[in-house]
Structure 1
């Protein structure tokens, strides 16, 4: 059975027990790991969050700083002390995130429609889904404001077959190749997804959600696509990256995001799980644990506003 067929039929569980050598004798879903996931290629589709990534001008930028003691700890630290490896044996970081609409995201419908779920109310069934990638790179050569059309979806289906119910559909535009250029947040013309295409994907193909590389769904004055999605109970992914490194069909996507109570946006991580013979990505290997040691320790750089090597 192929990788997508095995995993699309299974609800993967985060099992943290020792692997079983013989997949045929593996209990439950451990055989899925042995026969499919263990040899797969993994491609990260997520931008790194830093203090200077593009963000809508209506929001303030994030700041990172060394964490300090919030109270006196007798014999250990005084309130306001900066934690250091030398003095305390560890360091930590204080993140001031002034919006949940930052970087690679998962927008729950409550972002626009409070009667629908927030980020903490999304079901755990979002964890792993079949991944569809539809490219509009060629169309953008003639029109930098091009939006995915129903005709593009139909052309993809003629080549690859009908999009499966419950899939995640990412629209490749290569817009993310300019990341983290701050000018990206100011563009009024950028790749989009048309309202008709969104309606087709959800009402005709019954996908889970779609995703795009820019930070907005479309460039219409009212953001009509995002408005329709949110007010009909659909989520969406924004700020997705590296779609040029995954196949148009046959991969899966693992979806993770923090569970903020009442959250209206999510700092998300998307990882494409590709067939073993795919030329991009990394495989499970001995460097996964323990993780490799670097000869350049992390340290806080005040100019960069974050820890760097």
Structure 2
């Protein structure tokens, strides 16, 4: 029998009762009953100057932002903004590709008729999260690709994959993220073309996500080619899937929106039931005010701002 976590049941009940609630409340009751006490888990790598990237692309450059135009009695053209002189700092990012870090690939990445990042609808924002765990198989075979059997095994335990959901594939490959030189070495785990077709055509999911920076290790990247040319998106470079429940969670999907963008710097956050052992609650991390740094921020040789003891 499928066990529905208490917070998921509360969320479902709140959705059902929302139309009957006072008009002034709207969806606030859903937040109070289901989301306020939930656990939040970041599934995103912070992007940095030195990190894994597809071998055909270069790494990013971080540096201090400088005045592009003279500002009388404030800054000369070319002045780097500083706390001491101007009261603020800003950072310039030289990004050689939009396929960088944890990302969201739109169809335009491969298809000249495909939707770009700025074409994606706001309905991408919140979806049911499915976690299919293949990490034990990957531990025995680094080149293992998730199959339809892995999906149906998940369904035998949890029920049919929800339509419109996001399916994340746990391989634990993201634990190698710190090994920049070898993260992209083959073999690496993937998702089979048959599994992608089953998830999209039979289960009608929104998209899937994986921890490596490619969908599969086939010579033609057949899985990614099929997805993009059939106008589906995908997530790449996802982190912390070992902290997510297999069923019963939600996922929030955020991404930069460059006009006509062919890739998206993404932020994925899982929202798990309150009794889940991983993640933080809003009470633990309210977000306002944010914690003060342990030392003054200073820009390092790589251009990254970090607390630096004086």
TM beyond 0.5: yes
**Structure 1 residues 46 and 10 mapped into 2: Cα distance closer, same or farther (>3 Å)?**
farther
Given candidates 88, 104, 107, the residue that maps to 1:106 is: 104
The C-alpha deviation readout for 1:46-94, integer Å capped at 9, x for no partner, is 0011100111121111000011111110000000111110110000000
Structure 1 match to 2:287: 288
- CA-atom RMSD in angstroms: 1.9
Structure 1 match to 2:263: 265
Q: Secondary structure at the match of 1:255?
A: strand
Query: Per-residue deviation at 1:308?
Result: 1.5
Q: Would the aligned equivalents of 2:177 and 2:183 in 1 still touch at CA under 8 Å?
A: no
Establish whether residue 195 from structure 1 lines up as the match of residue 193 from structure 2.
yes
Query: Per-residue deviation at 1:24?
Result: 7.5
1:1-309 maps to which residues of 2 (within 5 A)? 3-4=7-8, 27-285=25-283, 287-302=286-301, 304-309=302-307
Q: Secondary structure at the match of 1:130?
A: strand
Supply the distance in 1 between the matched residues of 2:286 and 2:27 (Cα, whole angstroms).
24
Q: Would the aligned equivalents of 1:4 and 1:130 in 2 still touch at CA under 8 Å?
A: no
Q: Would the aligned equivalents of 1:147 and 1:191 in 2 still touch at CA under 8 Å?
A: yes
Q: Would the aligned equivalents of 1:4 and 1:252 in 2 still touch at CA under 8 Å?
A: no
Supply the distance in 2 between the matched residues of 1:239 and 1:45 (Cα, whole angstroms).
9
Q: Secondary structure at the match of 1:141?
A: helix
Query: Per-residue deviation at 1:186?
Result: 3.5
Which TM-score applies when normalising by structure 1? 0.92
Q: Would the aligned equivalents of 2:129 and 2:166 in 1 still touch at CA under 8 Å?
A: yes
The C-alpha deviation readout for 1:159-178, integer Å capped at 9, x for no partner, is 11110100100000000011
**Structure 1 residues 9 and 240 mapped into 2: Cα distance closer, same or farther (>3 Å)?**
farther
Q: Secondary structure at the match of 2:265?
A: coil
Query: Unpaired runs of 5+ in structure 1?
Result: 12-22
Query: Per-residue deviation at 1:26?
Result: 5.9
Structure 2 match to 1:17: none
Q: Would the aligned equivalents of 1:56 and 1:185 in 2 still touch at CA under 8 Å?
A: no
The C-alpha deviation readout for 1:118-146, integer Å capped at 9, x for no partner, is 00000100000000000111111221100
Which TM-score applies when normalising by structure 2? 0.92
Query: Unpaired runs of 5+ in structure 2?
Result: 16-20
Q: Would the aligned equivalents of 2:14 and 2:33 in 1 still touch at CA under 8 Å?
A: no
Query: Per-residue deviation at 1:185?
Result: 4.4
Q: Which runs of 4+ in 1 moved over 3 A?
A: 1-11, 23-26
Corresponding pairs, count: 297
Q: Secondary structure at the match of 1:267?
A: strand
Query: Per-residue deviation at 1:306?
Result: 1.3
